[in-house]
Structure 1
Amino acid sequence: MKHVDLAFGTVYGSAQFVAETLADELADLGYSVRLWQSHELNDFTPSNEGLLILVSSTTGSGDLPEDIQSWYYRIQSTAPYLPGLHYSVIGLGDSSYSEFCGAGEKLDALFTELGAKRVLPLLRIDAMETMEPELEAKTWLTQWHQQVQHGLND
């Protein structure tokens, strides 16, 4: 059974709901899942041999939500080398803003810099197009699961 760490950054709860939905779906697919709450993140550094899914909304001018900022900056400053980590990012945003899904882009760039490998490209979910981002995330998860099952490129 493969283990998946799942973390989220949220302002109004949408990213958290998406992460909780994915955690349930992953468990149904037979994965061992740890959903990290924002108050637990300071003790969390992703495993170099693991699977990580990050879900984040975007605030301000492409900023990370407050509940995930300190973790992001800690990981950025400690810069663990994670070439064995396979990760994916789901960004929630509003395309009417110039920094659409900026927080997701920052998370994606950080983990690329740390040597981690993407399972799938950044998924951008646009609030202008969908009222239920968890449904898009569930559809995306089908593709993610197929990629993981058919082997990850190292």
Structure 2
Amino acid sequence: MRKVNLVFGTVYGNAQFVAETLQQQLLTMDWEVNLIQPESLSGFVPPQDEWLLVVTSTTGQGDIPDDINLWFETLRGEAPYLPQLNYGVIALGDSSYETFCHAGIRFDELLTELGANRVGELLKIDACETMEPEVAAQSWLVEWHKLIDENQVD
């Protein structure tokens, strides 16, 4: 059984709701899911024999939400080498800002710098176009799961 660590960063709760929705969907796909609350991320380094899925909103001028920013900065500062880690990123944002989905982009860039392997495309969900971000995320998750199975990525 595959295991995924599902991490979210949120300001108003949308990213948390998306993550909780995906948690339920992953369970129906026979994944073991560890939904990690932001306050529990201190010292967390994603195990390389498990998957990582990051769901984050963007705040301010393209900033990472405060609830996971410390974790982001810790990972960036400690720079653990993660060449066996497979991951996905779902970014929530508002395209009326120049820094649209920048928090998710920053996570993707950091994980790549750490040697991790993104599977599938980074999903950018635009609040100007999507009233139910969880629905877009669920569709993306189905495709992500297919990519994993087709490529037999463990």
TM-score where L is the length of structure 1: 0.97
Q: How does 1:9-48 map to 2 (within 5 A)?
A: 9-48=9-48
Shift of 1:93: 0.2
Q: In structure 2, do the counterparts of structure 1 residues 99 and 152 end up closer, same or farther at CA, with 3 Å as the change threshold?
A: farther
- CA deviations on 1:28-50 (whole Å, 9 max, x unpaired) are 10000000001101131101222
- CA deviations on 1:73-123 (whole Å, 9 max, x unpaired) are 011111010000001100000000010001000000000000000111210
Secondary structure at the aligned position of 2:146 is classed as: helix
Name the aligned partner's letter for residue 88 of structure 1. Answer: G
Distance in 2 of aligned mates of 1:152 and 1:58: 32
Q: In structure 2, do the counterparts of structure 1 residues 104 and 152 end up closer, same or farther at CA, with 3 Å as the change threshold?
A: farther
Q: What is the match of residue 72 of structure 2?
A: 72
Q: What is the match of residue 142 of structure 1?
A: 142
Distance in 2 of aligned mates of 1:10 and 1:17: 9
Distance in 2 of aligned mates of 1:111 and 1:91: 14
Q: What is the match of residue 103 of structure 1?
A: 103
Q: Do structure 1's residue 59 and structure 2's residue 59 form an aligned pair?
A: yes
Shift of 1:150: 2.0
| Pairs aligned (count) | 154
Distance in 1 of aligned mates of 2:152 and 2:17: 27
Q: What is the match of residue 2 of structure 1?
A: 2
Unaligned 5+ segments in structure 2 are: none
Q: Is the 8 A contact 1:50 1:84 kept in 2?
A: no
Name the aligned partner's letter for residue 34 of structure 1. Answer: N
RMSD, aligned α-carbons: 1.2
Shift of 1:147: 1.1
Q: Is the 8 A contact 1:57 1:103 kept in 2?
A: yes
TM-score where L is the length of structure 2: 0.97
Distance in 2 of aligned mates of 1:152 and 1:93: 31
Name the aligned partner's letter for residue 55 of structure 1. Answer: V
Unaligned 5+ segments in structure 1 are: none
Name the aligned partner's letter for residue 99 of structure 2. Answer: E
Distance in 1 of aligned mates of 2:26 and 2:93: 23
